[in-house]
Structures are given as C-alpha cells and as structure tokens.
Chain A
Amino acid sequence: MPIEVNGKAFETDEEGYLANINEWEPGVAEVMSKEDDLELTDEHWDIINYLREYYEEYQIAPAVRVLTKAVGKKFGKDKGNSKYLYGLFPYGPAKQACRYAGLPKPTGCV
C-alpha cells in the first residue's frame, strides 16, 4: 500500500514501513504521523533526525539504551529515558519513530 506525499507515491510494506529508505523525505514522516493523529513537534524531529543519522552510520536503528543515552546527552538528562520517548511516540520509539524516519522495522525478540 503506497502512501502519497506531495503528489509522489512511496511504496510501503504490509506494516506501513517505507520499502526503500533512500526515497525518504521529511514529508513521509508528516503524512505517516497525520495518519496516526500525531502532530510532529521539534522534539519529535530531534528523534527522527537522530535515528536517521545513526542508521546512516550503523545500518540499524539504535538500541533503546543507546537512543535514550544520546537523547539525554543532546537534549538534557530529563529527556534521556524511555518514558519521555514513549510520551512522544506512544507506539514505542523503536517502532513508531523508526517508521516515520523511513527505517526498516526492527525484527527479532523485541
């Protein structure tokens, strides 16, 4: 089921993850979040951008602990915990935020 962003169609898998990460543009996150009734704030974008940076370097989404630590370092200790991330992304930082960032879904026993 492709999603439409600024008149352009983006292929996604059964679970709504972008089929090709290289096609990603910010509009993808906007459209996906709108479907979830979520408004993206600067705080959301900080996470999405970090996820993309990390993926570029390591070809995988960061582990939850790596993410919370990085967020804590960059944006303040009070934000370096999963509660803060779940507050931003109710379906879980790994799954919801990764999807908006165009990253593949983390698989396995997670």
Chain B
Amino acid sequence: MDVVIQIVITGLTLGSMYALASVGLSLIYGTLGMFNMAHGLFMTLGAYVAYSVAVAFGIPLVLGIVVAMAAGALIGIITHLVMVRFMLGTADFGTNVLVATAGLGILIEDLLLKVYGGYPYPQPLAVEGFTRIGRVTVTYQAVIIFAVALILILGVAWLLLKTRFGRAIRATALNREAAMLMGVKADTVFLQVMALAGMLAGVAGLMISTQATLSPQMGGDPLLKAFVICVVAGLGNVWGAGLCAFGLALLEAAIGFYIGVRFGFPAMLILVILVLIWRPQGLFGSEKVVRL
C-alpha cells in the first residue's frame, strides 16, 4: 500500500509540472499552429529570474511565482513580437518556426550560461518540511506544486471557457479566417496566447527547479516530456494534454519505481508510439478531413 501511495504522490508531483508545461505548449500549437522549441527555455528563464529576485530581495514563494509568471509572459510576448509575428502565414510556417524557436532556445540557453555560469544552484524559493501519509514522506513542496498547478490549470480553463478573451482564443484555434471575419483580432489573440503560455512555462520552471537544481539545461528534459504528452494527447488539445500529463507521469513514476528510473522515459515513449500507431491523431484528437 505504501508503495502505491508513494507512486501516486511522485506521479502527481511530476504530473503537475508536466501539465503546466504541456498545457502552454498545446495552447500555442492549437492557436498558432506552431511548435515552440524554446518552451523549455521559457521555463528555465522563469526559474532563473525568480531565483535572482529571491536572492536579491528575499521574497516569499507566492511572490516568486508571480515573478516567474511575469518573466515567462514577457519572453513569450517578446518572442511573438520579434519573431513569430513576421513568420505567420508564410510558406512552410510549421517547420520554419520550429527551426527559429529552436534557434531562440539555444540563444537563451547560451545567454543564461554566460550570465549565471553552468554551475547548478539550489532554488532558494523551495519550501522546507514534510508530513507523512502512512509511512510515506510527503514534502510540503510537493503539495504546493500540486496546488499551484491545479489552481493555474483551473484558472486557464476558466479563462478559456468563461471569458470573452477565452472565446476569442478558442474561435481562432478552431478557424482563424472565420474568427477574423467575425471581428476577432487574431494578432492580439496570438500575443495573448504567447503571454499566457509563457506564464505557465515560467511557473513550471520555478516548480521544477524547486525539485532539482537550477541549470541552463534544466528545461530540456521537461520540454521533451511535454512534447510527447502533447503528441499523445493530440496536438493542440489542451484538456487532453492536461490529462495525459498526469497519466504519463503516474506511469513514469511506477516504472521508475519497479524497473529503474532510467527506463521511465523510454517506456513512456514506447507506449506513445504504440498509441500513435493505433490512433495517429492522438488519444483526444479528432480525425481531420482535409480537402485537397
């Protein structure tokens, strides 16, 4: 029983972080049709900025989250204004933007390396202490991660489903031309989506750094998993991405416990490939009929 509790807790903690990362990624793909290869660096940037502010001013975790969100949103906005805006609607947008964001990712990573150095720092915003469920240790940090992820994802869900702003995003994702004809300012929507996704990524980065350490490469592994989660959920399907994040994280935790941590991701990937052979459009994706 303890083992099951342990796996569930590890899975939920991992799943919270994956969900924050992959919901943003999925939102961007759904609306702009772009794969953000720099998403991992959005996370890293959020974590580093929160770290710097925390070291300088000694802020509490709540403010740290706000700072990470602001940093993520800012980099999302800059990315859109400086780069993506000019590429939208050009030929081969999908692949070109992938290359460009990958370039941006390696650029930010190098800048972080130059500013902070490659030495891993501990995140000062982490919360100490733990409680026990049965004989299983649960750190407060894990509880906070889960709570933050839950609040933010429910917040995003509320935004998307209940507000005008969310309706504009959903309309644009569904059919860009039709939305524009109905008076939705697609450019503004894209900017808002980039900011929103960047915000989620910033928080995800902060949460990940409290579990491990800060390093310029820390975003790589979560990004990879977020990609896989988005693909298995069906690209652009935000709800599916959230669900799959928890599902795959639980699987990873279980395999990590029973077989070995290094096989967690490979097992996840093999499962994903099997799923895709069975349903190429992803678990929650709907089959698209394309007229040629």
Q: Do A and B bind each other?
A: no
Chain A interface (Cβ within 8 Å of chain B)? none
Chain B interface (Cβ within 8 Å of chain A)? none
